[in-house]
Structure formats: structure tokens, C-alpha cells
Amino acid sequence: MPERALARVRPGAVERNCARLRRALGGGAELCAVVKADGYGHGAERCARAALAGGASWLAVATAVEAAELRAAGIEARLLVMGALTAGEMPLALDAGAEVVAWSTDFVRALAEHRGRRPAQVHVKLDTGMGRLGTDDPREARGVARKIDAAKRLRLAGLMTHFATADERGDEHFPAQLERFSAFVADMRAEYAGLVVHAANSAATLRDPGSHFDMVRCGVAVYGLDPFGRDAAEQELEPALELESYLAAVKRFKPGQSAGYGRRWTAREPTWVGVLPIGYGDGWRRGLTNNCDVLVGGRRRPLVGTVSMDNVTVDLGPDTEVAVGDQAVLIGTQGGERITAEEVAERLDTINYEVTCGIARRVPRVDSP
Ligand SMILES: *Cc1c(COP(=O)(O)O)cnc(C)c1O
């Protein structure tokens, strides 16, 4: 029996993508697989395990709850919470044995008050030009590091920054950020031993080995999505997710008959229209109204009419050979055809990250070989 809407996730692809990323790392740099936002919509636990099997030695998430969930699932790898933490969230992260990021002495003071079983491992974040988390003042970052180093219950574990434009090949901001960070790292290494220094996201990892330092933090590439928004195959990455539904109904349309809310599409000629029970309540966004293709019977068919919460309609053409119950692929391959998350993202004027993260919880994720 087909499911109304289903995401097939291939842990094998995640594993191979990690192995491919590992091969790109020079000088013994480690791979940290970023599994925040439920593994970019793919399922955090399965992807964490697959990434570790593929050679990742660290994991990273954005929130304390995400860290606690991985630990509750029995995952024991070194785990970094990259996001900001409130005083209320901090104990959850630390009790999960996760490492955390600091950029202010106030935060370090709060960390030092936590009574955990083990000393907390803390990474200092320098904002070299992302303009988001971190201090943009290297002296302040140094001061934060000194406070961590001086605190009995804290360990200075690493230094980090984050790039704003690594996915824009040839831009000048990326090398400028890298230079600022490198200078900071050189100063700090002279003072502290054993720091894990990390900066690169997926795009930087693929673009510039000079950004690898001791570890890279790859997210999107782990899932076989192209950080440059092009074809992941160009980077030898394998998409790990397919999104499918099925033909719940097929009906004959006469010219002038319309499909969906607001009559945003009307048949011009006699045709067959298929109904797929998937909609924006599943994360198939309303912006795809009259604006994407779906694979049915091994061919591309235009999605026609308004995307509703639970259903969409597709134009199957005048003499269709498909029938109720047939599989429909929204992201993935069927026959010789392929629809990528990058293609859907382009239709929506967004990025592949948002397409897979947006697949709603009511879509079951199942492991696929
Ligand atoms: C999400 C995130 C990453 C991973 O970025 P990708 O582009 O998905 O590889 C790395 N570092 C930080 C700080 C992040 O927030």
C-alpha cells in the first residue's frame, strides 16, 4: 500500500557523502556532521549514525533539545551545540555532555556556575564577518578564552567562526574572513595547546582546503544537497531523500473545468487530472501552485491548480496510461527522470536547505536501501 506522503531516506547515501567529504580533508582534519533541524529534515538520529559510519567523528546541532535527543537515542560522539543558549537551556546541553559555544564573559560566568558531572567543553566564537553570533573583537574573544581557561569547571576546547559567502565562488568576503580568523588562530595557538579549530561549512570545505583547520562542520553536503545550489552530482554527492505520494484519484476533465481553490488552473483541452494526497500541510509549499513538475508513470507532469493543505492536482495529459494507486515522485527519480531539491528550491526562489527542512512532521521518514 502506498503512503499518502512519504520521505524515503537513504542512510547509505549519507554514509557515502561523509566518506567523500572525508577524502577531501587534508592534514588530518576531522569531519563534524551537522544534524540540526532533524538532520535537515532527513531524521537526525539515522543521519547521525550514518554519518559516524561514514567517518564523521563529531556531530553538531543548533539547540540543547536537539543535543539531548541524540544522547537519549544512545549516540555518544562528541557533540557541539552551535547555537545561542539561554540560562534555562544551558543545563540541558551540558547534562547531555554537549560542548557549547561562548563569546561573552557573562555567558562564561553562567557556564562556570553549572554543577555538572564533567567539566564543560567550551568553544570560543569569533565573528569574522558573518554578522551573527560571536564577538567581532579578537581581544574580547581572547578575554573570553582566558576566563574559560581560568575556570575550574570549564575547558577551552576550541575556536570557531562561520562564513557568510562560502557558497559564492570568487567573492572577496570569504578570503577576508579566512584571513581574520587565521590571524586570531595563530595568536591563540601560541598561548593554548590542543585547541580544535573549525570554520568551514560544506561550501567552504569543498571550495578551499585552506579553511579546513582541525575540523569542518558540514551539513547540507552530508545529505547530498549541493551547497552551491547546482547539481550535487558535480560534487560527487548523492541525494539522500526522496519524497513521494501516489495517485489517490484520476478524473477526466472537460475544457473549462478547473482544479482546486480559486480556480487557478482550467483545462483547455480534454485531459486527465490526478490527485495526490500531499499539500502544504506536508511542506509542499503553496508557492508551487502551477509552478513545478511531479513524476508519474516515469514522466514529468505539471502540478496544476492551487496547492492545498492536504492535496495537489497534476495534469496527466489526454491519453494517460497511469492509474489510481500509482506512485508519484515529488523529489527523486522515476523512470529516467529526476527532480532534485535544488530544482524545487529554484521554483520557490529559495535554497535546497529550506525545501528538505520544510517537509512536515506528518510525513513519515522511512529508511531506504
Ligand atoms: C548550519 C551550520 C553549519 C553547516 O552549514 P552547511 O552549509 O549546511 O554545511 C556549519 N556551521 C554553523 C555555525 C551552522 O550554523
Ligand 1 pocket, mutate which of 128, 217, 353 (most atoms under 8 A from CB):
217
Predicted local distance difference test score (pLDDT) of residue 216: 98
Tell me if 4 is assigned to some domain: no
Tell me if 249 is assigned to some domain: yes
Tell me if 2 is assigned to some domain: no
Which residue, 235, 262, 285, sits at the end of a domain?
A: 235
pLDDT at 149 over 80: yes
pLDDT at 2 over 80: no
Mean pLDDT of 110-133: 96
Instruction: For residue 264, report the distance from its CA to the centre of ligand 1, in Å.
Output: 38
Same domain, 16 and 107: yes
Amino acid at 30: E
Q: Which ligand 1 atom sits closest to the C-alpha of 166?
A: 7
Ligand 1 within 6 A of 227 CB? Answer: yes
Same domain, 284 and 216: no
Determine if the pTM surpasses 0.85: yes
Which residue, 209, 235, 261, sits at the end of a domain?
A: 235
Same domain, 226 and 250: no
Same domain, 56 and 173: yes
- Of the pLDDT bands very low, low, confident and very high (cuts 50, 70, 90), residue 174 is very high
Same domain, 220 and 327: no
Same domain, 226 and 252: no
Which helix (H) or strand (E) covers residue 94, if one does? Answer: helix 90-95
Same domain, 151 and 67: yes
Ligand 1 within 6 A of 198 CB? Answer: no
Same domain, 159 and 245: no
Residue 127 contacts residue 103 (beta carbons within 8 Å): yes
Segment 209-214 long-range contacts (CB within 8 Å, at least 24 positions apart) = 209/24, 209/25, 209/26, 210/178, 211/163, 211/166, 211/178, 212/25, 212/26, 212/27, 212/29, 213/29, 213/185, 214/29, 214/30, 214/158
Beta bridge partners of 337: 334
Which residue, 235, 261, 281, sits at the end of a domain?
A: 235
- pLDDT tens-digit map of 268-289: 999 999 999 999 999 999 999 9
Predicted local distance difference test score (pLDDT) of residue 322: 95
Predicted local distance difference test score (pLDDT) of residue 342: 98
Enumerate helices (H) and strands (E) in the chain, giving the number of each: 11, 18
Other CB atoms within 10 A of residue 86 CB: 8
Same domain, 152 and 53: yes
Ligand 1 pocket, mutate which of 21, 34, 218 (most atoms under 8 A from CB):
34
Domain limits at 332? 241-367
Mean pLDDT of 280-302: 98
CATH, residue 293: 2.40.37.10
- Of the pLDDT bands very low, low, confident and very high (cuts 50, 70, 90), residue 1 is low
Q: Which ligand 1 atom sits closest to the C-alpha of 162?
A: 13
- pLDDT tens-digit map of 316-361: 999 889 999 999 999 999 999 999 999 999 999 999 999 999 999 9
Residue 27 contacts residue 214 (beta carbons within 8 Å): no
Predicted local distance difference test score (pLDDT) of residue 230: 95
- Across the chain, mean pLDDT equals 97
Same domain, 142 and 48: yes
Q: Which ligand 1 atom sits closest to the C-alpha of 227?
A: 7
Same domain, 183 and 227: yes
Q: Check if 261 is active-site.
A: yes
- pLDDT tens-digit map of 230-239: 999 999 999 9
Same domain, 114 and 183: yes
Annotated catalytic residue within 36, 40, 147, 223? 36
Amino acid at 174: F
